[in-house]
Structure 1
């Protein structure tokens, strides 16, 4: 049988590609430069090809090196998954767990659920990343995240999701708005309403538009956050749709706005947990979602359902 590369050699090649020099790569993996250089040369001998172009200004991968790098990353990722799967089998939801959260969930949900999550799983170390859904899904696919809390429905390849909670939309407007005294609304009441929404890229914008079936959102007043959005409404620039999660967390307290619900069936979004298809931490992601769901206040609307794969379009 031919001699095979070691994981250490592959780790060194990845570090060299990321840092562009032998000295910086050696420092990143805590070895001396001669040790790293010798390992790369041995890897080249094993594979029978030159992987690295060495020069005064640093190191660059050859075309063959780029091919090997891609496979090396996959091998290292699978090795990491092996370790994670073994640890999870012994004691799930322990140690580091990298969790992504979208901005329209993070500041309103995390303060409610993280203390309970820590109490339930004291050995779990949650590392948080807040970002838009597309970028969180990219991080899941690249194994830079273990799971993410997102709003559903949202289609993406190689991502599986499970809904854990139903979050309804509420209509928010200035007190002198034509709908301010309407009591409860129907989505049809908003058919001709120019809504203020978040800017493109936020899934909340798409979910809100799907509720009222209108494309009349005023793009010249697109906001970057829900906090900015409610300030715009307070200033009399228009009305908007807000998730109840944010309203219950105090987003519009002391703002003097009229906040109205919709008649059943309540229009809204599902909060769910997402993970990479085939991930060694898939079961832990589901357990994390269940733990978050259990930590929510009694009486909140919950959503049961099996884990499902989303569609194939991003």
Structure 2
């Protein structure tokens, strides 16, 4: 029995896209050719791997087992090629990072620093929720995750803490200027707030802070995109709550205030997470080294 690497790539693409046509496009082949390769693979294995119907129906139990090994083999193949390139003194390869929306600014700065240090490394940033990053790291879809360091994540992944996230209220001056340079969560709840959607970890942190203060926010607009959130606030009579280091002042003019939130003061650790796979591609190792230097210089 011989399984070709190309068949494993096709299987992994189908798992990623969950759609025959999109998986075929990602692999650079036609949809009939993809279906034929999978059927031939099933013949070689002697087992059904994919549940078929009018559309992709998922993998069989045997298919899930093969998919797990396919991801491991493909990752090790990439690591081998990267290490061979690295042996010539050049670090190369693609590093896919799943990043929570509030850390996208930090991720792009890290990517730029990696590119300056290692021109042949190709950083790829994908915005994802906290849950999607955990799943993606476990499934091999992400090489690294830039996310909150929760207890569960700390036990499942290696973690490099990067910074501590604190929170501010961004509001138009027209909504009122407090006498002091900070605002309580209870006071913030009186303002019309544009917030990230409830499925986002940042929103869950914010809601927990309001509950601790004994109030609940009044959301007038919700989105899972931080840029859309800031754009809406800039063009409306509403406020928002965001991490202090993610508040991009380019979206706001002189008519806005940024006030630290207190009572309670909330701080959450954001870290670079790495799967515990037993091996680490050189491009990933290089990215972690650069991140460590950036973290040390910022502290």
Say whether residues 1:273 and 2:267 are aligned partners: no
Structure 2 gaps of 5+ residues are none
Matches within 5 A, 1:283-298: 285=284, 287-292=286-291, 294-295=293-294
Aligned counterpart, 1:236: 237
- Counterparts in 2 of 1:220 and 1:262: CA distance versus 1, 3 Å: closer
Residues 81 and 37 (structure 1), Cα distance of their counterparts in 2 relative to 1, 3 Å cut: closer
Partner of 2:72: 78
- Kindly indicate whether residue 185 of structure 2 is the aligned counterpart of residue 190 of structure 1: yes
Conserved 8 A contact 1:234-1:257: no
- Aligned to 1:125, the other structure's residue is in SS state strand
Corresponding pairs, count: 279
Instruction: State the Cα distance separating 1:205 from its structure 2 match.
Output: 1.4
Is the Cα contact below 8 Å between 1:180 and 1:258 reproduced in 2? Answer: no
Q: Taking structure 1 as reference, are residues 103 and 6 closer, same or farther at Cα in structure 2, changes over 3 Å only?
A: same
- Mapped to 1, the partners of 2:240 and 2:128 lie a distance apart of 22
Which residue of 117, 125, 128 corresponds with 1:128? 125
Q: Whole-Å Cα distance in 1 between the matches of residues 73 and 283 of structure 2?
A: 18
Following TM superposition, by how much is the alpha carbon of 1:274 offset from its aligned partner in structure 2, in angstroms? 1.6
Matches of 2:125 and 2:80, distance apart in 1: 23
Query: Structure 1 residue 66 and structure 2 residue 60: aligned?
Result: yes
Q: CA deviation at 1:198?
A: 1.7
Whether contact under 8 Å (1:174, 1:234) holds in the other structure is no
Q: Structure 1 272/15 Cα, relative in aligned 2: closer, same or farther at 3 Å?
A: closer
Matches of 2:12 and 2:228, distance apart in 1: 43
Question: RMSD of the alignment, in Å?
Answer: 4.5
- How big is the shift at 1:267? 3.4
Cα separation, partners in 2 of 1:207 and 1:14, compared to 1, 3 Å? same
CA distance in 1, matches of 2:136, 2:204: 22
Are 1:226 and 2:226 an aligned pair?
Answer: yes
CA distance in 2, matches of 1:203, 1:165: 17
Q: Gaps (5+ residues) in structure 1?
A: 45-49, 303-314
Does the Cα contact within 8 Å between 1:20 and 1:58 map onto a contact in 2?
no
**Superposed displacement of residue 229, structure 1:** 3.9
CA gap of 1:20–1:116, structure 2 versus 1, over 3 A, is closer
**TM-score under structure 1 length normalisation:** 0.67
Please say if residues 100 and 136 of structure 1, whose CA atoms lie closer than 8 Å, have aligned partners that are also in contact: yes
Say which one has the larger Rg: 1
Aligned to 1:175: 173
**Distance in 2 (alpha carbons) for counterparts of 1:118 and 1:151:** 24
Does the alignment pair 1:41 with 2:43? yes
Shift of 1:124: 0.8
Whether contact under 8 Å (1:234, 1:256) holds in the other structure is no
CA distance change for structure 1 residues 152 and 233 in 2, over 3 Å: closer, same or farther? farther
Secondary structure, aligned partner of 1:267: coil
Matched with 2:203 is 205
Alpha-carbon displacement from aligned partner over 1:250-271 (angstroms, at most 9, x marks no partner): 2453151111235799633322
What's the offset of the Cα at 1:59? 11
CA shift, 1:216, in A, is 0.8
Q: Which structure has the highest helix share of the two?
A: 2
TM-score with structure 2 length normalisation?
0.70
Structure-2 separation of matches of 1:178 and 1:164: 34
SS of 1:206's equivalent? helix
Provide the residue aligned with 1:115 in structure 2. Answer: 112
* Partners of 1:276 and 1:282 within 8 A in 2: no
- Equivalent residues of 1:81, 1:279 under 8 A apart: no
